[in-house]
A and B are shown apart, each in its own frame.
Chain A
């Protein structure tokens, strides 16, 4: 990836440090867009090292970040008038929050990076500002013990950084809280949909084949008809779990995601059934089969939104999975069996 964000270099007692711009260019937005839609996910990284913003000096703040380009972009665009050093850790191209969970954004990496960049020769103070969401990987007291640098946790959102600095490096209650706004959830939809698409496409192959052969002789006409119906049902299940669930999340009753997904699946299925009733007739058995399939699919794909949401816990997800997963697998399998039987009679 071209390092278009580097605009100059700066001399320091510890060697030359690249200077970066706080302006995002077209190519930066394009990269963000691609990452969101899962196009070329690879190599959305930058070199882990020290960067200079607005010609900082020995008294300027040191901000710690991950070497994920999107995190880095979000940070630098907030630093319009701020002199700062950015210490970029090697998190293998993963954002602060997820990397902290794995420990790659962590105590050891910070200590190593301080030594490697010879940060102590560049700044006079001994303070690092670490994004609060890095805290699950960083033990502030350990960093201090090993490097002499004390860690101050900065705001969750980079946009609060200027206010945080003006307030003498203090976060307010609101700055510390993780949100999950409608916008936060909407931007996550594309990857959710694309991530589950392959299961649906595989399912479609099965439904197309069975429709073509059953009952009686194979015909392409039957393949086309059968797979169109299957596509409508499968995609509606997928959309219930990966689009409707994220959008409606706080308004769907019940805390468990699998449950929320199942409810939406049922709703979408009922709606479809009502819309399609006039177009073609189907047997009770196939209706039941499709209902099970759509609800299971919506429940499963909806449950997977737990990983993307910001308020679920390991223990909670384990608890809901223990009940939901067998039901989803059983429901889906039973649905496929019922539908298959219905298409042969």
Chain B
């Protein structure tokens, strides 16, 4: 029951197994183990854990994955909204100067 779980059924992640060649790249780049290999194909095993970072889509050389990537940061979204731009992590986000546990 306890642990980090975010909102369900929100991710824009889309995967087309027909295009998958089984290169395993998506399983290697995903920070939340959303993908798993099953035989010669990747499969989505934990869709709700996806943070839409875009790593899998960018690193799938065969175009099997799409996702609207962005930052899950309310301050960045507010700032983007006020300045009429895409949500970014620019300076509104204190995180970018200090997150180190993950770098």
Q: List the interface of chain A (C-beta within 8 A of B).
A: 32, 35-36, 38, 41, 44, 66, 68, 70-71, 74, 94-102, 131-133, 135-141, 153, 156-158, 171, 173, 176-181, 183-184, 187-188, 191-192, 194-195, 249-251, 255-257, 303-304, 306-321, 325
Closest chain A residue, CB of each to CB of B26: A135
Question: 1/0 contact trace for B49-92 toward A, CB 8 Å?
Answer: 11111110011010000001111111111100000000111100
| CB–CB B101/A187 < 8 A | yes
Contacts of B87 in A (CB 8 A): 314
- A101-B97 contact given A133-B31, A177-B32, A312-B6, CB 8 Å threshold: no
Chain B nearest CB from A185 CB (Å) reads 9
Instruction: Write out the residue numbers on chain B whose beta carbons fall within 8 Å of the beta carbon of A158.
Output: 103
Q: Given the complex, which residues of B lie within 8 Å of A95, measured CB to CB? A: 96-97, 99-100, 102-103
Q: How many A-B residue pairs have CB under 8 A?
A: 200
Q: Report the bound CA distance from A166 to B4 in whole Å.
A: 31
Residue of chain B at shortest CB distance from A158: B103
Instruction: Give CA–CA (A321, B70) in the complex, Å.
Output: 15
Identity of the chain B residue whose Cβ is nearest the Cβ of A141 in the assembled complex: B61
The smallest beta-carbon distance between A95 and chain B, in angstroms, is 4
Residues of A within 8 A of B51 (CB): 310-313
Q: How many angstroms from the CA of A257 to the CA of B94 in the assembled complex?
A: 17
Task: List 21 interface pairs A-B (beta carbons < 8 Å), by A numbering.
Answer: A36-B98, A74-B100, A95-B99, A95-B103, A97-B99, A135-B59, A171-B28, A176-B28, A187-B101, A255-B8, A307-B72, A308-B73, A309-B4, A311-B6, A312-B51, A314-B70, A314-B72, A316-B11, A317-B72, A319-B7, A321-B77
Query: Please, which residues of chain B bring their CB within 8 A of the CB of A132?
Result: 28-29, 31, 55
What residue in chain B is nearest A68 (Cβ atoms)? B103
Say yes or no: A191-B74 contact (C-beta < 8 A), given A97-B103, A102-B89, A250-B3: no
* Total chain B interface residues with beta-carbon distance under 8 A: 53
Q: Which residues of A contact B72 (CB under 8 A)?
A: 306-307, 309, 312-314, 316-317
Task: Assess whether B10 is interfacial by the CB under 8 Å rule.
Answer: yes
Is there a chain A Cβ closer than 8 Å to B44's Cβ? no
A307 touches B75 (CB 8 A): yes
B29 lies within 8 A of A70 (CB): no
Q: Are the C-beta atoms of B94 and A249 separated by less than 8 Å?
A: no
Structural contact, B97 and A313, CB atoms closer than 8 A: no
Q: Which of B52, B101, B102 is in CB contact (< 8 Å) with A315?
A: B52
**Taking A140-B25, A315-B52 as contacts, is the C-beta distance between A308 and B99 under 8 angstroms?**
yes
- Please pick, from A94, A177, A312, A325, the residue contacting B31 in the complex, using a CB distance under 8 A: A177
Assess whether A178 is in contact with B74, with CB atoms less than 8 Å apart.
no
| Bound-complex Cα distance A25 to B96 (A) | 24
| A307/B95 in contact, CB under 8 A | yes
Neighbouring B residues of A257 by C-beta, 8 Å = 74
Is B33 located at the chain interface by the 8 A CB criterion? yes
| A139 and B59 within 8 A (CB) | yes
| Complex contact A94–B73 (CB within 8 A) | no
A260 to B84, CA, bound (A): 29
At the interface, yes or no: B5 with Cβ under 8 Å from chain A? yes
Q: A136-B54, A313-B72 provided; 5 other pairs, C-beta below 8 A?
A: A74-B100, A136-B53, A195-B94, A250-B3, A311-B32
Nearest-CB distance from B103 to chain A (Å)?
4
B76–chain A nearest beta-carbon distance, Å = 6
Could you say which of A102, A136, A309 contacts B55, with CB atoms under 8 Å apart? A136
Taking a contact as CB atoms under 8 Å apart, the answer to whether B28 and A153 are in contact is yes
Chain A residues whose CB sits within 8 angstroms of the CB of B7 once the complex forms:
255-256, 313, 316, 319-320
**Nearest-Cβ distance from residue B7 to partner chain A, whole angstroms:** 4
Residue of B whose beta carbon sits closest to that of A251: B2
Nearest CB on A from B100, distance (A): 5
A38 to B96, CA, bound (A): 11
Contact with A along B20-56 (1 / 0, CB 8 A): 0000010011111100000000000000011111110
A139 to B55, CA, bound (A): 8
CA distance A308 to B6 in the complex (A): 14
Q: Does B89 contact A101, Cβ atoms closer than 8 Å?
A: yes
